[in-house]
A = this chain, B = another copy of it.
Amino acid sequence: MDSIATGDRAAATALYHAVRGATEAVAARLSAEDQQIQSMADASPTKWHLAHVTWFFETFLLKPGLAGYAEYHPRYSYLFNSYYESVGDRHARPARGMLSRPPLADIMGYRAHVDDAMTRLLAEATEGEWAEIVPLFTLGLHHEQQHQELALTDIKHAFSVNPLYPAYLDEAPPEGPAGAPALRWCGVEGGVQEIGHDGNGFGFDNEFPHHRTWLEDAEIASRPVTNAEYLDFMADGGYATVAHWLSDGWAAVREQDWEAPYYWRRQEDGSWAEFTLRGLRPVDMAAPVSHLSFYEAAAYAAWAGARLPTEAEWELAARAARVDEDDANTLASGRLHPAAAANGGDGPAQLLGDVWEWTQSAYAPYPGFRPAAGAVGEYNGKFMANQMTLRGSSCVTPAGHARITYRNFFYPDQRWQFTGLRLARDA
């Protein structure tokens, strides 16, 4: 998206429409009824995602920046604000599924209205205005991409609680490799190192500042843990052996009756199936294990005699490996599920795509972190407690969205994202 900064208005406009169109493509496979469901407080209805990302452009760009802009509907700001306390009151999160009105058709009208205005804004802004617009405009595009991923994981959850197990995609997935490559250990060089975003291209506020850190020499696995490996942990009594677990993790195991990854369902013949965006399917044993909580990832690592990597280890390993998003299994691949990958090189692979990887690092501000001024300052900083950082990206992350400095974060008991793990160990 770096064309934006150069001031190429036509490119920026095309990019805007491409991102907006990608969101609509995600939604297009779903009926209005499907887009209505909110199956838990952490998730949102698809149509709410469609409206909320639109509200972002309306609120942060059009209202302050486009002369004569007419708000589409006076109550939409209340309905589609997600959490920006500074922007005003908002509809209670767990009640998003109650909104049969506005109907999907009106939300598509809202999108068209905002798209027209945005097109005008991008065309008509003076040079001075353009400079002001660019940061928020770019943020809006990346924000919308985040919601593309969330919309897919949320609908997966919604379909998973329906006894009919509906499929988002009807076709069977493409064949993948029958087996995963053997796990190799790859070195990570210690010392005073630098991590964080270097300022070239877009980054979220939480990736800044670029800063020095110290780490000891370490090793990181060449690929994520597979379903077959995780099944070994299960077969070895992993969920019943308290010694592997953090205290809060053990409490979660007991209270929530965890005995397998989130979407696994034991079949009558004793085998395991997995709910996927293509419906209920046999677990692909060669693929990376997914939909694990941090607690499960940490317990697996303890059982395996290893540990999770730190953020710094992961980022330095990824920088050394010169990862290329084009090789990754992301949303662009259309598979929408993790798969085993060939493992050609010497370094770690599959760092992008397939599954987000839990690290052992609590989500915290980098030294010198400053939130942005104004309401968008609420973007990331206020979540820096009680959550753990994940690195990489997943099989439903939009192309162009991933970076090796990207810091994703979830609570340690959350499981509905495509979350897996990669082992690390001291050198």
Q: Report A's interface with B, CB cutoff 8 A.
A: 31-34, 36-37, 39, 75, 78-79, 83, 85-86, 91, 95, 97-104, 158-159, 161-164, 166, 192, 211-216, 242-243, 245-250, 294-295, 298, 360-362, 364-365, 367-368, 377, 382-386, 388, 412, 426
Contact A245 B382 (CB under 8 A): yes
How distant is A81 from chain B, measured CB to nearest CB, in Å? 12
Nearest B residue to A216 via CB reads B367
Cα distance A75–B382 in the bound complex, in angstroms: 45
Contact B101 A166 (CB under 8 A): yes
Cα distance A372–B193 in the bound complex, in angstroms: 31
How distant is A167 from chain B, measured CB to nearest CB, in Å? 10
Contact A162 B99 (CB under 8 A): yes
As for how many copies of this chain the complex holds, the number is: 4
Contacts of A79 in B (CB 8 A): 163-164
Contacts of A32 in B (CB 8 A): 31-33
- A86 touching B412 in the complex, CB below 8 Å, given contacts A37-B98, A214-B214, A368-B426: no
Cα distance A78–B162 in the bound complex, in angstroms: 11
- A34 touching B100 in the complex, CB below 8 Å, given contacts A214-B214, A245-B382: yes
Contacts of A212 in B (CB 8 A): 214, 216
How distant is A100 from chain B, measured CB to nearest CB, in Å? 4
How distant is A48 from chain B, measured CB to nearest CB, in Å? 12
- A31 touching B100 in the complex, CB below 8 Å, given contacts A214-B213, A364-B362: yes
Cα distance A216–B369 in the bound complex, in angstroms: 13
Cα distance A100–B165 in the bound complex, in angstroms: 11
Contact A162 B242 (CB under 8 A): no
Contacts of A102 in B (CB 8 A): 164
How distant is A201 from chain B, measured CB to nearest CB, in Å? 25
- A250 touching B85 in the complex, CB below 8 Å, given contacts A37-B100, A385-B412, A426-B368: yes
Cα distance A148–B365 in the bound complex, in angstroms: 35
- A382 touching B247 in the complex, CB below 8 Å, given contacts A97-B97, A163-B78, A192-B214: yes
Q: List 28 A-B contacts (CB under 8 A).
A: A33-B100, A34-B100, A34-B101, A37-B97, A37-B98, A37-B100, A75-B163, A79-B164, A83-B247, A85-B243, A85-B250, A95-B161, A99-B164, A100-B158, A100-B162, A100-B166, A101-B162, A101-B166, A192-B192, A211-B216, A246-B383, A248-B386, A250-B382, A294-B385, A298-B385, A360-B365, A367-B426, A386-B412
Nearest B residue to A242 via CB reads B85
Cα distance A298–B365 in the bound complex, in angstroms: 12
Q: A37-B100, A98-B161 are in contact. List 12 more A-B contacts (CB 8 A).
A: A34-B101, A36-B37, A39-B98, A75-B163, A86-B242, A99-B162, A101-B166, A216-B368, A243-B377, A249-B385, A360-B364, A385-B412
Nearest B residue to A375 via CB reads B243
Contacts of A216 in B (CB 8 A): 211-212, 367-368
Contacts of A37 in B (CB 8 A): 36, 97-98, 100
Cα distance A78–B361 in the bound complex, in angstroms: 36
- A98 touching B162 in the complex, CB below 8 Å, given contacts A32-B32, A242-B85: yes
Nearest B residue to A30 via CB reads B100
